[in-house]
Amino acid sequence: MSQSKETVGGTLLVAFILCVVCSAIVATAAVMLKPKQTAAKENDRSLNILQIAGLYDDNKPLADQMSQVKARVINLDTGKFTDELTVAQAIDPKKLARDASKITKLDSDSDKAKLIRRENFGVVYIVEKDGQLDRVILPIRGYGLWSTLWGFVALQADLNTVIGLGYYQHAETPGLGGEVDNPKWKALWPGKKLFDGDEVAIKIIKGTVDPTQAGAEYQVDGLSGATLTSNGVHNMLHFWLGQQGYGPFLKNLKAGGA
């Protein structure tokens, strides 16, 4: 009986020690790998920004190419550049959401992108040439069918014409909503117009756009078999380009008052 107890006790002790040792190894590995993971995440963000903005050259170092892109923090309520937060503090909406003073809760009528809450600060990316605005890259996100889609839309200096649109993170169904990654669909975006006057006019339509019809410059083909994902893209663009998103900033930037 005593020997049985000692055996059980010894087994539990060995298991406990093994758990502690394994936990220590995992924790140590996580701490040691964090800088590499952070660097990889930053490189992926940079790559997506450059590709969507039509600036990427695979023959040049990524860091050199990003030197032409300036990250700036904006206050989404005022639509102006701000020094209230650094780029590092404002770049992650999930971190901002932990501080109730830095978010705005959205009601059902205004929450087109199904975000529930919107950060009060954001990071935008500005490219200038010869001292003049050349293009602007705006982070966007919103809910599709199964997931939140995270991406960017890049605009020409007129702040209306699309250079490119793409997503770097989502969990939509491969072959359906996952077609947001299809190069053929992404190739439909360059040259499209986002605004008709002051109104957000871009639309994701069912079927194929007829380029001979009036208003075709504001329309993009829907994703075949993925209506809800298409609606998600449409809704997030209308949210982020509207008053709750980058609308005030784009107006200020166009007027030279950002």
Is 224 domain-assigned? yes
Is 22 domain-assigned? no
CB contact at 8 A, 73 and 81? yes
* Residue ranges making up the domain that contains 186: 68-255
pLDDT digits (tens, 9 = 90+) for 204-237: 999 999 999 999 999 999 999 999 999 999 999 9
Is 18 domain-assigned? no
The whole-number pLDDT of residue 1 equals 45
The whole-number pLDDT of residue 7 equals 75
| pLDDT tier at 175, thresholds 50, 70, 90 | confident
CB contact at 8 A, 71 and 123? yes
Is 108 domain-assigned? yes
Is 185 domain-assigned? yes
| pLDDT tier at 17, thresholds 50, 70, 90 | confident
CB contact at 8 A, 124 and 137? yes
Is 31 domain-assigned? no
The whole-number pLDDT of residue 18 equals 79
CA contacts within 13 A on the Cβ side of 33: 8
The whole-number pLDDT of residue 11 equals 74
First-last CA distance in the chain: 81
Compute the chain's Rg from CA coordinates. Answer: 23
Is 58 domain-assigned? no
Strand partners, 137: 125, 154
CB contact at 8 A, 239 and 113? yes
pTM of the predicted protein model: 0.85
Is the pLDDT at 4 greater than 80, yes or no? no
Output phi, psi for 114, to 5 deg: 60, 50
pLDDT digits (tens, 9 = 90+) for 34-88: 555 556 777 888 999 999 999 999 999 999 999 999 999 999 999 999 999 999 9
- Residue 160 is given by DSSP the state S
The whole-number pLDDT of residue 39 equals 61
How many domains does the chain fold into?
1
Find where tokens 């900033």 sit: 249
Is 48 domain-assigned? no
Q: Which of 139, 27, 32, 28 lies closest to 94, judged by CA?
A: 139
DSSP characters over 193-214: B-EETTEE--EEESS---TTST
Is the pLDDT at 9 greater than 80, yes or no? no
The mean pLDDT value for 238-257 works out to: 95
Q: Quote the mean pLDDT of the chain.
A: 90
The mean pLDDT value for 5-27 works out to: 72
> In whole angstroms, what is the distance from residue 110 CA to residue 113 CA?
9
